[in-house]
Structure 1
Amino acid sequence: MLDTPTNRDTAVTLARAIATDDAFRAALADLIAFPTDSKSAEAPLHAYLAHVAQGFAAMGFETQGYTSEGRPFLVASRVEDATRPTVLGYAHGDTVPGMEGRWAEGRDPWTLTEDPATGRWYGRGIADNKGQMLVNMTALQAVLTARGSLGFNIHVLVEMGEEIGSPGLAKVCERLKDRLKADLLLASDGPRIDAGTPTIFLGARGGATFRLTLKRRNGGRHSGNFGGALKNPAMELAHALASIATPTGALRVPGWVPEGVPEAARAALAGLTPAGGEVDADWGAEGLTPAERIHAWNSAEILAFSAGDISQPVNAIPDEAQAVVQLRYVPGIDDTKLEQALRAHLDAQGHGDITITRQGAEFRASATPVDHPAARFAAASIARTHGADPVVLPSLGGSLPNDIFTEILGIPTVWVPHSYPGCSQHAPDEHLPRDLFADATGLMAGLYWDLGAASKKALLGS
């Protein structure tokens, strides 16, 4: 298998050049133009996958569509040699709502636009996840052009429901377990540690959301005539919420607190500044750095808290209070008992009247070890292209369906993100810096090239 510096450099240079070409921008604009809002019944999900399938077919991939739990899926495969390593790629084409009318300067979320002053490209899905998918497709094309083949086998699974919890993904992977058999998941989603630093993460924190409800009576009661003699559910729920964490944000719920940060994870996170630097160093678990708190620990957040009408408060004790609490958690927690742990904690604090219900999409925590051969291989490849070591994170701070790949398909997972913390993901004005596309595409071309010259032992260590 050819692996001379000249050939590898050719692939990397070509990838970067393609990513700065007008044709790349046009291809990205075409992807963004599909209003693939997960929550919209009219979203053209099938049409989007048909369009993506054409792009894979042009590179010699065989494509097949599937449906599971009412959601469409695409599998694109290029099998060159069964004795060579096989990679599983993953992407999602669905997005959060466009939030039309809330974008700056009247931007249309479904139209790719550029701010010449900042070099930013705007559009819904550009960061999450259409732009990242196009980066990887472009890098594959560059390797095919430079080498004449990939040198490895690849299946790419594209789903259209990640933003609503990936319905049907687990069933598709169970159903296609033999077809999707691979040595490694290599995919791109989420942000880098910052825009200029190549990053790898090896899994994702789990996410579980709970609605807490305390109803005391039907209708409010006059705050003067009844105040001091009737229980106030808003006050009670506020105390219950305050019991979940210390005044500085450290978790207090037994069963929600990890046993500790693994030494390998601690070493990987040493000296890192997470979340683009937007952190409060004195918030969260004591004795941990902000990077450890986000990428190797658990956190609970109050997403919403409601009682009465905040826009028009009246002199009345509210009859009901509600809050939504979300837990993000790392592997090692018994996630079958998260609700029971919260129930026991609230009961012990004297809040047994509060009702707990699970809400929204959930992801399980899972991660590949920091010292896994596949992680070391990917890090070395990116360092070779970039000229410096990438940041390696044990887990993404957010949540992804990583557990489906590690548990159902049984393969190690390596994620190479092409976004950055300030991209306004899930908000108006979602964007990416134009220059990030060329950098990311070059890194992926180098990684795909190296996979084409690697042995299965280099990826699996056995």
Structure 2
Amino acid sequence: MHVRAGASHHTNKYDEDLIQLAKIASISSLPEHNTDIQRAAEWLFTRLKDAELEDVQILQTKGQPAVYGQWLHATGAPTVLIYGHYDVQPVDPLDLWTSPPFEPTVSRTGKGQEYFRGRGVSDDKGGLLQPVHAVEAYLKGRKALPVNVKFLIEGQEEIGSPNLAELLVEHKELLAADMALSADGGQISEKQAGIVLGLRGGVAFEVEAQTVGQDLHSGLKGGSVQNPVHALAQFVADLHAPNGSVAVDGFYEGVREITAEDRADAAAFPFDEAAEMESLGALGPHGEEGFSTLERRWLRPTLEVVGIYGGFSGVGIKTIVPAKATAKISCRLVPDQDPDHVMSALRRHVETHAPPQTRLKFLPLPFRAHPYIMPRHTVANRAAAKVLKEVLEGLFGAVKFYRDGGSIPALALFKEHLNLYMTCFSFGLPDDNIHSPNERFRVSMYDKGREAWIRMLQEIANQAAKPSASS
């Protein structure tokens, strides 16, 4: 296909795109980076116009803006809505980075494994650029696309997409499409392709424990008043039963039973538990009794303490009984749990399970996502399976259908508000260190992903033309 050949001549330009976009510190969770968020949106606005997309615009929200562009001249062909996000995670702890997170680099020496390095290169700036480059290759090569295309690139995914639902409702007609693809996500490995059929949803909250009005001298008052760190530790420990289940009344309401097909997908997934535990530095698997590791990750809800602090944490010792202590807690949810119901159950638990002489305060956090599940045999999934087998070779077996433990709020929101199932068509890898120091993106996957997107747009047209096609 001459479109792919043409795209291969612009590798340096594509590399520079990712370097330039990843230089922008578009951290959505930190208000001091609001200017950077705006810069990233403006950069993408210009880049979509340069790719010859039309009606390019910045869509304002109550939070961070989204960027939109379209090309709608493929008469009789389906319309594909492509989703991605340009915001990134914070970079702390900074001292663990081997190079500055917003001074991205790329190695293309041809000598062994090569990477882009920097915050956001994999999640999701490298991912969102691949379909932009693919569309540009068509429009500057053939002057046409095999399908109609719309882009929606948001700036708040990393904080749970709190304003995306309102944006989808407000621009429902503009965003109307036959199917949706996500440029956010990843592959099982470079040689094993996979298609995600479901992701977990999530909610998050803080619980603050207070026992006294101010920090107290631990010699004069210690042992005679409740210590909030001790109390909070007790409360957190009691959030799980001895069998590893979550000990919150109502938490499991709506959870689907695991089906034989679910278990077959888990059994077919290429997973070496012992090797993974060793690579993670873990002493062994741990979790809810009665379920395998993959079942725990894909098909069961979880509650995790993601941060806990209180008292003095500097160098040396400060002999106090602190006044307050706080824990940040994240829950992952599965079909058919309702985030609002789960948050209500968690609030009730906090309000009714305070340790002695302790005031607990429940503080909701803005992370909220519905769980997502989709059918196997959509037009986009069939097209993705064919293309991924061609591009990633499938050396370890056929393309796998599987569930994933993470959350992409847009998937469930697109289904709820646009009535579109979204296929994840993305090329990050499990060892890309996303959300962690030293994030990276394999150069080979950046190149393969671009080729896959070029093939994917044509294959969707092919699949949609078949008599039995349905999105």
State TM-score, norm by structure 2: 0.84
Q: 1-side partners of 2:49 and 2:468: how far apart?
A: 27
Query: One-letter code of the match for 1:170?
Result: A
Q: Secondary structure at the match of 1:303?
A: strand
Q: Secondary structure at the match of 2:462?
A: coil
Query: One-letter code of the match for 2:22?
Result: I
Residue-by-residue CA offset, 1:119-138 (whole Å, 9 max, x unaligned): 12212221121111111222
- Structure 1 position 266 matched with structure 2 position 263: yes
- Structure 1 position 414 matched with structure 2 position 423: yes
Q: Secondary structure at the match of 2:415?
A: helix
Contact 1:99–1:109 under 8 Å retained in 2: no
Pairwise CA distance, 1:449: 1.5
Q: 2-side partners of 1:211 and 1:168: how far apart?
A: 21
- Which of the numbers 154, 175, 184 marks the counterpart of 2:179? 184
Q: 2-side partners of 1:315 and 1:36: how far apart?
A: 40
Compare 264-273 and 77-86 and name the one that shifted more.
264-273
Structure 2 gap ranges (5+): none
The 5 Å alignment of 1:277-292 reads: 277-278=276-277, 282-292=285-295
The 5 Å alignment of 1:140-289 reads: 140-144=135-139, 149-220=144-215, 229-247=224-242, 249-257=244-252, 258-272=255-269, 273=271, 277-278=276-277, 282-289=285-292
- Structure 1 position 298 matched with structure 2 position 301: yes
The 5 Å alignment of 1:313-392 reads: 313-345=317-349, 351=355, 353-372=359-378, 374-388=380-394, 389-392=398-401
Contact 1:302–1:325 under 8 Å retained in 2: yes
Q: Secondary structure at the match of 2:107?
A: strand
Q: Secondary structure at the match of 1:398?
A: coil
- Which of the numbers 437, 448, 460 marks the counterpart of 2:457? 448
Count matched residues: 452
Structure 1 residues 460 and 296, CA gap change in structure 2 (3 angstroms): farther
Q: Secondary structure at the match of 1:48?
A: helix
Residue number in structure 1 paired with 2:83: 90
Q: 2-side partners of 1:452 and 1:357: how far apart?
A: 48
- Which of the numbers 11, 30, 34 marks the counterpart of 2:24? 34
- Which of the numbers 49, 52, 58 marks the counterpart of 1:57? 49
- Structure 1 position 428 matched with structure 2 position 437: yes
Pairwise CA distance, 1:90: 1.1
Structure 1 gap ranges (5+): 1-6
Q: 2-side partners of 1:194 and 1:261: how far apart?
A: 25
Structure 1 residues 18 and 209, CA gap change in structure 2 (3 angstroms): farther
- Structure 1 position 127 matched with structure 2 position 127: no
State TM-score, norm by structure 1: 0.86
Q: 2-side partners of 1:101 and 1:236: how far apart?
A: 31
Residue number in structure 2 paired with 1:4: none
Q: 1-side partners of 2:213 and 2:354: how far apart?
A: 22
Contact 1:190–1:396 under 8 Å retained in 2: no
Q: 1-side partners of 2:53 and 2:177: how far apart?
A: 16
Q: 1-side partners of 2:12 and 2:108: how far apart?
A: 16
Contact 1:370–1:394 under 8 Å retained in 2: no
Pairwise CA distance, 1:382: 2.0
Contact 2:24–2:40 under 8 Å retained in 1: yes
